[in-house]
Chains A and B, each alone.
Chain A
Amino acid sequence: MKKSLLLLFLVVILATFPLITQKGTEFGGADGKAEEAIIEIQPDYEPWFNSIWEPPGSETESLLFALQAAIGSGFIGYFIGVMRQKNKQATQEKEEKASHVTH
């Protein structure tokens, strides 16, 4: 448990470190930068297909990203709960059995 917390703390540090060291950047997506690089290499390249649907704005986009994370972490939380409960039951049953034997 302690080890897990330490590891999670390390992840937080890794994610916040650039925020402190890199000033004057908006941390745009790396894929956007690749787009720029493509245009630089081949200025006449025209994307030949557009997204069928695009979130109307950054607000809706962040909503959908948050939703994606929420659905995923919701399941992970459920999983952890179920597994702990199962484990608890299993150890309880074992103890009960053990006490039956001694009686």
Chain B
Amino acid sequence: MKKVSWKVLYFVVLLLIVPKQAAAMHIMEGFLPLEWAIFWWAVTLPFLIMGYRSIRAKVKENPETKMLLGLSGAFAFVLSALKIPSVTGSSSHPTGVGLGTILFGPLAMTVVGSIVLLFQSLLLAHGGLTTLGANAFSMAVCGPFIAYFVFKGATIVGWSFSLAVFLSAAFGNLGTYVVTSVQLALAFPSEVGGFIASFTKFAGIFALTQIPLAISEGLLTVVVMNFLKKYNLSELKLLRVLSKEAR
């Protein structure tokens, strides 16, 4: 009971600090006004804590899945390093969080995705520390959760495992950048047209660029998943990844 009330209190305080006046891939360092930087940090933090607990519980339950967790991290690491040219004439990179989400659930990938973002902001000046909260929320919270629900949805509808994996990874990727556009539009509404005008603008930059990359990410995730299905069937069963028919 006490625990619950603390959580409620946390979110109430969170609502209070939602900046009323907003001046807003990865959002560059310093490019999010202070109030928004703090706000997104505060939103992401609980997910990070839950994610850490989730990973610990999963690994304790099935220690043999540690290698798979490493693979999920490595996959996100590689994919987010690949800046791929896109049809809009600019480049962006996949997120790689879909694979780990299907294997370990969305919360676990919150931690993994945030670590990747931290690495990029510290060593590559890509993204930033002040904007890490916001970037982690889009790539490591929203992306995995979208991927998770798409995967579950596609499985319930009865689509094939490969198709579910593909859609899950692709939409997780695309969703990440839609959320980024929302974050930027919230912080930087246009003088004329406000939030919607800004959102269209940012979404035009991020989301369009991202469509071919989302497809690529979906395909790559299917490739890795097919390998896992062949060689790591027992672990997939432990993590309850495969639906009953696929088993």
Contact = CB atoms under 8 A, between A and B. Distances in A.
A27 B30 contact: no
Nearest to A75: B74
Contact of A34 (B83, B85, B123, B184): B184
Contacts of B201: 37, 41
Interface residues of A, number: 56
Given A29-B25, A29-B92, A76-B75, A11 B30 contact: no
A48 B179 CA distance: 22
A43 B91 CA distance: 24
A52 B129 contact: yes
Given A3-B226, A22-B89, A72 B74 contact: yes
Interface in B67-85: 67, 70-71, 73-85
Contact of B30 (A49, A65, A66): A49
B199 to A, nearest CB: 11
B188 A72 contact: no
Interface in A22-44: 22, 25, 27-35, 37-38, 41-42
Interface string B112-126: 000000011111111
Contacts of B230: 87
A11 B220 CA distance: 8
Given A7-B222, A37-B205, A18 B31 contact: no
Interface of A: 3-4, 7-8, 10-11, 14-15, 17-19, 21-22, 25, 27-35, 37-38, 41-42, 45, 47-55, 61, 64-66, 68-69, 71-76, 79-80, 82-84, 86-87
Given A72-B74, A72-B76, A76-B74, 18 more contacts: A7-B220, A14-B216, A21-B87, A22-B85, A22-B88, A27-B85, A29-B91, A31-B27, A34-B206, A50-B30, A55-B124, A64-B123, A69-B77, A69-B82, A75-B70, A75-B74, A82-B67, A86-B231
Interface of B: 23-31, 33-34, 67, 70-71, 73-92, 119-130, 184, 188-191, 198, 201-202, 205-206, 209-210, 212-213, 215-216, 219-220, 222-224, 226-227, 230-232
16 contacts: A4-B227, A17-B212, A19-B85, A25-B90, A37-B201, A47-B31, A48-B33, A49-B129, A53-B125, A65-B81, A65-B83, A71-B74, A73-B78, A76-B224, A83-B231, A87-B230
